[in-house]
Structure 1
Amino acid sequence: MSAEPAEHLDYLTFVDYAITKTTAELPRVDPIAMRLGIMLHRLASALVYDWESTVHRPRGWSWGGFRVLFVLWLAGPLEAKQVAELSGNSRAAVSALANTLERDGLISREQAAYDRRAVRLHLTDAGHDAITSAFEAHNEREQAWANALTAEEREVLIGLLEKLATSTAATEAKKRF
């Protein structure tokens, strides 16, 4: 790695720079784990930015709103707390997102018969049409990203990501959601 000043770094070259600087100051830091964490975060951020900016924002949705619609499309109608769990949003976020999605006619809410405090979310017909149309465009972007890898590489990467997602660290983190 060059000793180039930080001003000349870009989004990806900063990774090498950060690892070199960090391990020089903190020798017990594991540079491979650090690289894995940084690269996973940067890739996830880039994917979400791409999907949100090309597919979801033009439809007036946030990434969180898309995830709520996606869950309701495939698994709904559901109680709001289950939508939060399946979409990876907080309960408060689902409540706020539901306000916007309901205002836009994409979902409806009703009080659950079994618990007056519980709210069930339903995808409307307009919501169904909107999410299926959006998901086709979303999947086109997924394909564009996936095409950087061979079929075999995709399978290996999926297996590795699933292994990370079911690791002890992931299980412990999910308990804090």
Structure 2
Amino acid sequence: MTAKGWVERVPHTADRRAIRVHLTDSGRSLIDRILPLHTANEQRLLAGFSPADREALVPLLRKFSESLGDPPDEMFSSQTVRLPVPHKEFRK
């Protein structure tokens, strides 16, 4: 991402061991362009699920993620997880 110019590495001023990673203007622009596409894809994928199905999906996704060896994700650690509701243009 550094080579693409999307982020820059900045040495931490108080801790010489640490390096901070900051989004560049180019990185912000990229996120602004791709986030709507990502959100639309999530809505498309969940369009066939009822609200109850979406709630049932959360523990399954947590189990799937953990089975891959991923650390627990903040999204799945909350008891108040809300999966996106499909936008009307993505409903069947």
* Residue aligned with 1:130, SS: helix
Q: Which runs of 5+ in 2 are unaligned?
A: 72-92
Q: Choose which of 114, 125, 129 in structure 1 pairs with 2:29.
A: 129
2:63 aligned with 1:164, yes or no? yes
Higher helix share: 1
Deviation sequence 1:42-87 (CA, Å, 0-9, x none): xxxxxxxxxxxxxxxxxxxxxxxxxxxxxxxxxxxxxxxxxxxxxx
Task: Report runs of 4+ in structure 1 exceeding 3 Å deviation.
Answer: 161-165
TM norm structure 1: 0.33
- In the TM superposition, residue 163 of structure 1 has moved relative to its aligned partner by 6.0
User: Shift of residue 111 of structure 1?
Assistant: 0.7
Structure 1 match to 2:11: 111
SS at match of 2:49: coil
Residue number in structure 2 paired with 1:58: none
Larger relative contact order (CA 8 Å, sep ≥ 6): 2
Write the deviation string for residues 97-154 of structure 1: whole angstroms up to 9, x where unpaired.
Answer: xxxx122221111111122121110001121111122111011111111112122211
Structure label with greater radius of gyration: 1
| Cα distance in 1 for residues equivalent to 2:14 and 2:41 | 41
- One-letter code aligned to 2:56: V
SS of the aligned residue for 2:17 comes to strand
Matching residue's letter, 1:130: L
Match of 1:69 in 2: none
CA RMSD of aligned residues (A): 2.1
Matched residue, 2:50: 150
Structure 1 stretches lacking a partner, 5+ long: 1-100
